[in-house]
Structure 1
Amino acid sequence: MTRAECRWCDADEDLVLIGVIERGSSAAGGIYACGTCRARHRVRPISEVTESGPGRITYHGGMR
């Protein structure tokens, strides 16, 4: 198992999943951010992403 790190600063504490890398029909990995970088880059946890219809996803801040 690989260790998760913040996408920007390589921190390994206070991480939250902010994105998923998909390969084919399955998830291949995740993108994580620490609290400091989430605030600095204005990203939110993927758990706050809402589906807004077929094939559409609305992101509530940050990475698009």
Structure 2
Amino acid sequence: MKAVWTAVIYFGSFLALGLAAKVALGRWTKRHDVDLAGIQAQAGPNRRQRRLFLLGAWRTED
């Protein structure tokens, strides 16, 4: 039973930190009126497509 509580505390702290970071980032982007599409639009129409590695897979940026 001690191992279960240790796992709950260990993994729970990571989940809590991740959730707090997601909420804080969401509030910051809304306050500053920033979104990903707006940032990508700043690069202009001549921006080349890149190959990126995300979550274990290669993808092309659209």
Compute the TM-score of the two structures, normalised by the length of structure 1: 0.27
Which structure's residues are more often strand, by fraction? Answer: 1
**Of the two, which has the highest radius of gyration?**
2
TM-score w.r.t. length of structure 2: 0.27
Q: Which has the higher contact order (CA 8 A, sep 6+)?
A: 1
